[in-house]
Structure 1
Amino acid sequence: MDHGAGSPLFVASEALCYYPISTIYNSCPRYLFYALLLASCVTRWTGWLADVFLGAAATYAGTAAIQTFIMVSSFQKPQDPGPVSIPWISSNSSLLKEFPSIITEADHVMVSPASLELDADAVLAIVVTGYLVFLPLQCWSRILTHDRARNLLFYVWNALMLAGSICALVYAARTPKLPIQYMFCYPDIPPYSDTSNDGWQASWRTSTWNTSVWNTFSNISQWGLIGDICFNPCFNTTQILRQSTSLHATSSTDDTAAPTSHGFWKAILYSKRYIYSLIILCLILNCVLLTYRFLPYRSRIPSAQIVVLWKDRRAIWSSFKEEVRNAMKPPPMDLDTDLDTNPGELEGTAEGKSIWRRMQPILTRRFLKAFVHVSVDATILFGILFSMIVSPFTIVAFVAWIEFQIYNDGPSQESPRQVGQWAYLVSIALLVISAGILTLKYRIASSKELENEISELKKHLDDLEKTKEARLQNDAFEFRSLRDHIKGG
């Protein structure tokens, strides 16, 4: 206690220390990313336009995925806790008006500096949404996966998005475990609603946190060196992808971003479980459909395209009924056996033989094989239809949920009018214009340019023919080697 002034020397108040969302993940770039994904699905029949949209969205999501790898691998654990003795303040103290989150009825607090990385919510939104869109596109879209190279590219991006989603979820699971942060202030000077780190000096911490806090407020000149009204131990924490000066501290009860986010986590605990359950269900369904393409199983389901399934619905249903009907046909009667049977014996067991004859087709291997075949095809069909319903619903539900959470993380660092935000939209627009002009190159080219293009295409065609012949010869050689090996064995 500062007995001369009749008030405590300092007060301890709960605080939240956080790095705000980076400008690259602010609202405008994120909404542009969602729009690019939607445009990729809508324009996938156009070819060049879908490539532009999908390429821009994939590179943006890839950057976020790489950041998740770095965040998880370099996760900053809270520092070892240390006790700090604080002046005793009663629960009905008048200081509660100026310090709503002041610590009362306690003589010490445990200080363990740590900080929240709010980029975690943004990258989670990007990588999970990207994965929920890229995977169904590979399962359903025949146009976007018509060749091996494009299909392989989808596999690479899906693997990247899956790894990024896992890392983002692992990082998000660690965030609620961060310890409570404290700020120490003079009782006559309330803290600012939001304070940024001006740079931490090693001299501000002597031997222990307790000594550092008491020395700072016992010496007015040393307090003046911290460049802030309050002493924030969390300002000595760092993040590998952040500048230390971008760290912010705020009172935990202020109507600002970080505290609202902290309470929001608790308020939507069950909703969070539902969202993650939908994501897992969507992942399982689409992975099963993706694996089905490469299984050595001949199915009646002609395609994963909803249009194809609707056109062939009667043929699919008829094939189901035909296979079951053929399997249910009774085997031909054995006349010799029936003639040799004693009439009295036949009369005594007529009812039993009738039941057995009706049950016999169901117990045959042919019926079991047909039943399994129809069941697997029906399961695949149900999985395709269910996936087409669950996947869009999961994407919309997750985007709405994560965007509401990011909204509660606080306002963006930049407004949409600043160049750091609208620059992404302009770059995509310029890319679309450039790609559109290149698609018209044959119409605006001169005769000389067309002749050069034709000669280049002929040369490229000859190279492809040579490559094809070499591959056919290699395949024939391997086939002969395998045949000779079989004969020799």
Structure 2
Amino acid sequence: MSFSPSFNSLYADGQRTIPSNVILDQNLWVIGNNISSFRTQQIQCGYPISGGYGPTARYIYYFLSILSVVAHKQSWVVSAALASVMVYSSTAAIHAFVITRIRTLLQPRAIVAWKYEVVLVQGHSADGYWEPAYQDGPVWYPILPMAWDADVDAVLAIVATAFLLLLPMQIWSKTLRYAPTEKRRIVLVWALLVFAGLICALVNFAYVWLWAFPQLRFCPVDKEDVLPLTGPGLDDNVEPWDGSDEYRWNRTLTDYFVYGNRSGPVATECFYPCFGTSWPLRQKSDILVLEGDTGVVSDSSSSIGIWFLFTGYLVVGIFTISSLTVAFLVSFSFIPSSWRPLDIPASTRGILSLWSNCPGNNARDTEMRMWDKLWRTAVRLWILGNVFVARYLAPIVTVGFIVSMEWIMWTADPGVESFRHVGQWSVLVGALLVLLVATIPTAVSRLFETRLVGFCVKFILGKVPWLRRYLTRRKFRTPVPQVTQRRRSV
């Protein structure tokens, strides 16, 4: 089994990394027959995606994000959808700031740079101390307990979606384009917050991908726990680590499985070193154990991860430049009106019109006009490229990004809440209530414009004179119909 060179940078001496002589089967169990007292398996330990980032909440967020861009003719729909999108993505951006600040707790640098624990998982050791890996020799496996937070993926998906849709929103959304200055400033602050949160989310994603270390579990030969499994915490049979005893786990496994020394009952059949880790944003009991591994394990996955991160940063750079260009064209009035039409045909006609005019009468005039045409053509080509990115490339990239992130979260991340949990269906109810409230002003105004309502109001005010006088004094917005009373015949 070939492991990524990225792991070598995790250690000061560059030697005691994952042993090269370890052999794993398809289920990541260590293969060999020299250790008959227990078995060792590579696993992944992580915290499940929080309920607020569950699939129902994410899908509603995607729907409202697309709705805020597509429904540009219905201002009330855009306002309600955009408000929900701004609140949800802003919360995720702030969460990204917090994770970035504490991300080093995923892998304590002191353990990496100084000492860590090792366990003899296969073979026999002459003196019971670690020795370099060689063919048919003992397999000393390093133990670096950690549990990664799956919210890193969800936060990246949410913040990046808002950032990617911000570009086409500036072109297609008439509500945003013709909004008052105060509201546009609010959108600007939100865009800056989302951009900063996206940078932090990418940093967190890269950190987990590059630093997540394969975890181990040690089970009896004849039985093991069924995965997935939620962690009850570190077993009482494991003595606390003093920071320097690198053979603590090796001694614990020998005492428990070989000599049968047990201080009390165990909560699980196997030992899980990752249950002894902690994360400030979660409870220890939230750790979920799954089969497989995570992070950069092999050379191929290392290349895929690096290319994914490189593509992500490249897309962020391109979309940032395009967003600034479109915002500059839309916001400032001193820009020539011929540059403002943000569509492909208008930009193309503008470029062709520059070269369809007749040249000057002399050579100097011709040269000046040529330089003028060149820089104007360069500016229009720049605008044309950014318009193409905003109108055509942005939707494709956004859909592709959402699909890829959802695939990662469904296949690699720990389990999430189902729709039966209140944290999932309550988000749907909240979104429907927001849209319902947004329709009330429009529905009421249209209702009062109907003839039936006018007839009913006129009839009621004719029967209740004191109500007509009261509404007249209060300057009721709806015009009070004048009711002519018939004179009684004498």
**TM norm structure 2:** 0.71
Distance 1:226 1:398, change over 3 A: same
Which structure 2 residues correspond to residues 74-473 of structure 1 after superposition, within 5 A? 74-75=102-103, 76-79=105-108, 80=111, 81-86=115-120, 88-89=122-123, 105-146=137-178, 147-175=180-208, 176-200=210-234, 204-206=238-240, 207=242, 208=245, 210-215=247-252, 218-219=255-256, 220=260, 222=262, 224-252=264-292, 268-269=304-305, 270=307, 273-274=310-311, 276-293=313-330, 298-306=335-343, 310=345, 316=350, 320-321=354-355, 324-325=357-358, 328-331=359-362, 359-364=363-368, 366-410=369-413, 412-442=415-445, 443=447
Are the counterparts in 2 of residues 18 and 249 from structure 1 also a CA contact under 8 Å? yes
- Letter of the structure 2 residue corresponding to residue 31 of structure 1: Y
Deviation at 1:260, TM superposition (A): 10
- Letter of the structure 2 residue corresponding to residue 187 of structure 1: V
Aligned length in residues: 401
- Letter of the structure 2 residue corresponding to residue 277 of structure 1: L
CA distance in 1, matches of 2:390, 2:319: 7
Are the counterparts in 1 of residues 212 and 296 from structure 2 also a CA contact under 8 Å? no
CA distance in 2, matches of 1:110, 1:318: 66
Are the counterparts in 2 of residues 216 and 222 from structure 1 also a CA contact under 8 Å? no
Distance 1:88 1:313, change over 3 A: closer
1:9-32: CA deviation from partner (whole Å, max 9, x where unpaired): 434332211111122212111111
CA distance in 1, matches of 2:193, 2:212: 28
- Letter of the structure 2 residue corresponding to residue 88 of structure 1: Q
- Letter of the structure 2 residue corresponding to residue 301 of structure 1: S
SS at match of 1:86: strand
Are the counterparts in 1 of residues 69 and 168 from structure 2 also a CA contact under 8 Å? no
Distance 1:316 1:196, change over 3 A: same
Aligned to 2:61: 33
CA distance in 2, matches of 1:437, 1:428: 15
RMSD: 3.5
CA distance in 1, matches of 2:140, 2:473: 82
1:354-407: CA deviation from partner (whole Å, max 9, x where unpaired): xxxxx443333x542343234323432343234312111111121121111112
SS at match of 1:193: coil
Deviation at 1:225, TM superposition (A): 4.1
Q: Structure 2 unaligned runs (5+)?
A: 1-33, 125-135, 462-466, 479-490
Deviation at 1:120, TM superposition (A): 1.0
CA distance in 2, matches of 1:28, 1:395: 19
Distance 1:384 1:185, change over 3 A: same
CA distance in 1, matches of 2:350, 2:71: 29
Are the counterparts in 2 of residues 11 and 86 from structure 1 also a CA contact under 8 Å? no
- Letter of the structure 2 residue corresponding to residue 162 of structure 1: F
**TM norm structure 1:** 0.71
Are the counterparts in 1 of residues 347 and 384 from structure 2 also a CA contact under 8 Å? no
Q: Structure 1 unaligned runs (5+)?
A: 1-5, 91-103, 253-257, 332-358, 458-489
Are the counterparts in 2 of residues 139 and 286 from structure 1 also a CA contact under 8 Å? no
